[in-house]
Amino acid sequence: MTSTYVHGYDPRENRRLQDQASTLVELLHWDTTYPEGSSVLEAGCGVGAQTVTLATNSPGALITSIDVSAASVVEAKKAVQAAGINNVTLRQADIFHLPFPPESFDHVFLCFVLEHLSQPVEALSALKYVVKPGGTITVIEGDHGSTYFHPDSDYARRAVHCQVELQARARGNALIGRALYPLLTKAGFGEIHVSPRMVYVDSSKPELVEGFTKKTFAAMIEGIRKPSLESGLMSEVDFDRGIADLYRTAEADGVFCYTFFKARAVKN
């Protein structure tokens, strides 16, 4: 785990990442499939929340999933085993010191990783080094600046901004989704295509109200209560009101919107 990493491994975060992944499978992954026999590196697999979907959608691909956190790799192994998946190899490794020869993978996939890194272009360049010419990279990131909701609330917006600020102080970037095109360009990838994926939630979609608004987004902001208060970004009363207002958007007349960005590019 790098010092620039905000979310850190813990059981509650593990659960949140699993909830997030299962809610967003269709939206984020419907167009990610790799051919039979192709080799895929999943970088920053965490607790394996996306790994299971990747492997299920591409049963003939040989997937190598790595994470810098040994504890996360242990959890990912459990998730993969529980899903009965046998085309995934898991190992602890750092994106910045990859233990693979150059051009050893057909494709690279990473999801919700760049936002935590102080050197995203260097990470993309390191990953490019292990992709074969003509191979692809797929990157998925969120962008907290794309968050808006009804009823609107200054408290809720400020609580969300605490996450942006804390991540920036840890030298990450919670607004990175909008920057995928320039980052991939800087890292030297070609044929870059970015596809925004908007999550729109109202009470006609109870599974998204539960799985996204409450268990993914509001839970994430609730999870940074302690560091937000400790760093004086908001008062306790204001922060708690912000959290209450975020959950308020999950009620019958509430609406919640968020946009993820999915980029695919080619190593020429």
Ligand X SMILES: C[S@@+](CC[C@H](N)C(=O)[O-])C[C@H]1O[C@@H](n2cnc3c(N)ncnc32)[C@H](O)[C@@H]1O
Report the interface residues with ligand X, using CB under 6 A. Answer: 1-2, 5, 7, 17, 21, 43-46, 49-50, 66-69, 72, 94-96, 111-113, 116-117
Cα-based distances in Å from 230 to 19, 226, 239 = 27, 6, 12
Nearer to ligand X among residue 14 and residue 153 (C-beta): 14
Rounded to 10°, the helix 154-169/236-248 angle is 110
DSSP state of 174: T
Q: How near is the Cβ of 117 to ligand X at its closest, in Å?
A: 6
CA–CA gap between residue 172 and residue 67 (Å, rounded): 17
Q: How near is the Cβ of 121 to ligand X at its closest, in Å?
A: 14
Q: How near is the Cβ of 140 to ligand X at its closest, in Å?
A: 8
Helix, coil or strand: residue 11: helix
Q: Which helix (H) or strand (E) holds 150?
A: strand 148-150
Nearer to ligand X among residue 55 and residue 117 (C-beta): 117
Nearer to ligand X among residue 130 and residue 155 (C-beta): 130
For the record, the structure tokens of 129 come out as: 């080094």
Nearer to ligand X among residue 180 and residue 254 (C-beta): 180
CA–CA gap between residue 223 and residue 163 (Å, rounded): 10
Nearer to ligand X among residue 7 and residue 214 (C-beta): 7
Q: How near is the Cβ of 114 to ligand X at its closest, in Å?
A: 9
Nearer to ligand X among residue 155 and residue 217 (C-beta): 217
- Looking at beta carbons, which residue is closest to ligand X? 46
Query: Buried b vs exposed e over 203-234: b needs ≥16 C-beta within 10 Å?
Result: eeeeebbebbbbbbbbbbbbbbbebbbeeebb
Q: How near is the Cβ of 143 to ligand X at its closest, in Å?
A: 14
CA–CA gap between residue 207 and residue 201 (Å, rounded): 9
Q: How near is the Cβ of 123 to ligand X at its closest, in Å?
A: 7
